[in-house]
Amino acid sequence: MRPHRANDAACDRRRNGHKHCDAGATVDRPLEAWRTLDRERIGPDVVATIRRALFDSVAIHDGRWPGVRRGDAASAVGVAVRVLRRPGLPSPVCDIAMSAVLVHAVTGDPAAALVLAHGLQRLARGRRDAARLNGRARLWAAGASRGPPDSRA
């Protein structure tokens, strides 16, 4: 399954059997990172790749999108909430909106982290990888109250 391979690409097994992941690993499909990468894999390099993908040529037809492009977390959350109401997740528009939210969630914005968690839970409904997606959602929801991971502060 592609999401699993994306996570394992920058991870290796240590002698104790636990995975060690390179949080600075890049991703080949940056606008899918919100749903394919575990939180610890989303480091500064991945965020920079996502930002480039978002702001080079992508746009959503929403009045809040200019605010998203300026880096406003509230605008990103507002666009994502509207997109998550639509049926048919994931979609390219959903990936764009949730990627914008991910950029803010990684830096510790609690509203962005909660919207990201909600999006992952919505996406999980009826999918074979629901347990993995719901696990990621729980980590983002819990992290909303703790702030950013130390490696990204």
In the prediction, which pLDDT does 149 show?
A: 54
Contact 21, 14 (CB under 8 A): no
Structure-token match 């394919």, residue found: 36
- State the amino acid at position 78 in one-letter form: G
Contact 79, 68 (CB under 8 A): yes
pTM of the model: 0.78
Instruction: Give the pLDDT confidence of 21-71 residue by residue, as tens digits.
Output: 444 444 789 999 999 999 988 999 999 999 999 987 677 888 899 999 999
- Which tokens is 84 given? 């998550």
In the prediction, which pLDDT does 134 show?
A: 96
Structure-token match 């480039």, residue found: 52
Which residues sit opposite 13 in a β-bridge?
A: 19
